[in-house]
Structure 1
Amino acid sequence: MTGKRKSERSTRRKLCSPGRPPVWQRETLCRFWQDIAAGLSSEEAGIEAGVSAPVGSRWFRSSGGMPPTHLTPSGSHPQGRSLSFSEREEIALECARKTGVRAIARKLGRSPSTISREIRRNSATRNGDFNYRATTAQWHADRAAQRPKVSKLAQNSTLHDYVHDRLAGLIATPDGVALKGPVVIWKKRRAVHRQSRRWSLAWSPEQIAQRLKVDFPEDQSMRISHEAIYQALYIQGRGALKRELSACLRSGRALRLPRERARKRGRSFVEDALMISDRPAEVADRAVPGHWEGDLILGLGSSAIGTLVERTTRFAMLLHLPRMKGHGKTRVIRNGPALAGHGAQAVRNAITGTIMELPASLRRSLTWDQGAEMAQHAQLQIDTGLDIYFCDPQSPWQRGSNENTNGLLRQYFPKGTDLSQHDTDALNAVAHALNTRPRKTLGWKTPAEALDQLLKQHIIEGVATTG
């Protein structure tokens, strides 16, 4: 039965107030995320948008560093049929002046029915009258416009398990023995934005999204974009994946953050060496397998692990460089042996012992950065038959495949940790995990599959030639 209060005669259903309406509006949030996309910090973007720095930082953290879909710079803008906040402010001013609905409509260039519905639906009615306030009206309009949608990962349990297993699954040795690996606690600056690291299969969201097309070519329900996986990790409102799984991402970031990586300048070393400009064309175009790129990744206390990456297949091998006897116990001797384990002699022996396990067709050349660890490159060339080339100073992009692989390896061997604690079995397990992950540049084949295909092709061609 209809009561006497005007609020009871309102066409809008009764709402329990969830609290104070927000002071910011869609336009403010759009400005904030546009400034974030332009490279500003969350505090600076908040101030530019007209709110305080702590509010900007809170917005950024609550959304995982990712703007809601409808607030992205590339998202669709509100249609002209929707009233803007500035128009609602004009309506509130005219209502306070007791202006009629048709006069307000003429002033705003809107239909009288639009203004009438706006006042009837979005006015504050708690005091028994239609008191129109712009902020309250915008709040009601935003609530009515929400279209909550269940995420694909929450709906499809098979898809969820596929994504979860390839993101967070344990790595294992080639023999199938699972390895948990060490628990690495992140203690660096801005640690609030990073999760403690752990070893996992750690397929990237893009690898998972693209591999679904290979593993389920006929099942269209097993499809998801990599951006949806990131949103499930970073935006908890999307559901399905826990934020703790961001520890399985290669960066370990709990928020999507713009970051510039500082490039560490090492000591240059060039002595009777061939430069990268002297490499033949077959090395640059990646058409012929057997050309490798190498480098060291460094850890705490001058610990190091060597990395070798084949340019054509991106197949990776890791070099175990244990510390020598007496490291940390005896006084360092100037120009003495490198007790940290990655001196020229140790690196030469490690490369020789690893590369010589391959057939001769896969031992053509090696490109390395300019570092003192390659001081014995001439002897290495004699031992292995490899042509050794060196990059230009401070030019890591000339070893692009190796730099990319080193970035992937930081998932398992973070900066600021002791790398000497990992034995040969652990290195082989990590290399196996990398070589069995699909790669975009290989048409979503794994490096192991690509290398196996090349070896079979070489064997067939060799048989055909001898026949």
Structure 2
Amino acid sequence: PGSGGRRNTLTEWGSGMARTAELQHQRRAFWTGIRDGLPTVAAAKRSGVSQARGFRWFRECGGVSPVELSEPTGRYLDLAEREEIACGLERGESLRAIGRRLGRSGSTISREIDLNGQPGRPYRAVPAQVAAEARRRRPKPRKLADQRLRGEVQKGLEKRWSPAGISARLVVDFPDDEAMRISHETIYQSLFVQARGELRKELTRRLRTGRALRKPRKRVDGRADPDRRIPDKTMISERPAEADDRAVPGHWEGDFVVGKNNRSAVATLVERSTRFLILLHLPGGPHDLPAFEEAAVKAMTALPAQLRRSLAWDQGLEMRNHKKISIAADLPIYFCDPHSPWQRGTNENTNGLLRQYLPKGTDLSVHSAEDLAAIAAELNDRPRKTLGWLKPDEVIGPLLSGDQTAGAASAP
């Protein structure tokens, strides 16, 4: 019974160490995904952990990885090599023979067993890997443990300076003092990572963003997987090449212009080759998606077929039901890459002109469908240098059937 109990204990111990190693690899995979710009949900899915665990890891660490992302390489033994060492020892091979098979010296194998093996127990790969990684994470002296440096950084943050500005200014103020040097990344980590809280957490409110979590620039969206938010989207890279040179009319770009506190909105549709503008009246605001979809379909189906070749949009949630719009309007819809407004350059430029009539920070719901029709008509009547000083109305006129010169459509 005693030996059986010991065997059970060893089995449980080995299983626990295996789970620890697996969790470390999952953490590394998760934070590698965050570094590569994946949303939290997608990073969790890639690493094989639940969404809840992924969100907890991200929140607890302030959006900054607490683990070394690179797998041990080069002079470090990896898990596969440690498994070979364990198998060789079980077969009774000499340390030199194991080393020759791995391309390592016998002294390296001997040192590995002494450092990472369990005293009085057979060498096992998983616990040795865990021990080696724990040793690699030896605590290092923290820059902000220096009270004088910490004080200067704190004063800069209280003045609402950026971490990059603080780092650069320290060189100016203390040109001959190497101890007064710190990178902006170290300041960010001290603010966002709970384990490195030398600076008071409330100082994060002094940052321009005011966030207590750091959001990597490359991330598409931190809330959910973008493929799940807008399923089955076709990217702009697959749009017909004829749209790029604007020689063929009928390719449109669209967007929302939002009002104060994102509670009101006007949708804009601009034809790439003629710069003709259509404004969609959305009395229910930007979150009334059925009304937007109906207004978009109504506006596009009023155009002749040769002017409904494609529509480019960003990855906003208003296009969650893009397939419904595409089928109803007989109009292919293509999505721009994240953070790439230049892929809808015509629309961005037109929205800038539109802000003369619909200023930022104002309530756009005060404008009726008739008001928007008048604004669109005025912009479509404006001579454009890019059109050889012709007007959008004049260029698109021969292509239109019926009366479409008003340039406005309304949601019910």
Shorter chain as denominator, the TM-score bin is 0.3 to 0.5
What TM-score, normalized by structure 2, do the two folds share?
A: 0.46
More helix by share: 2
What TM-score, normalized by structure 1, do the two folds share?
A: 0.41
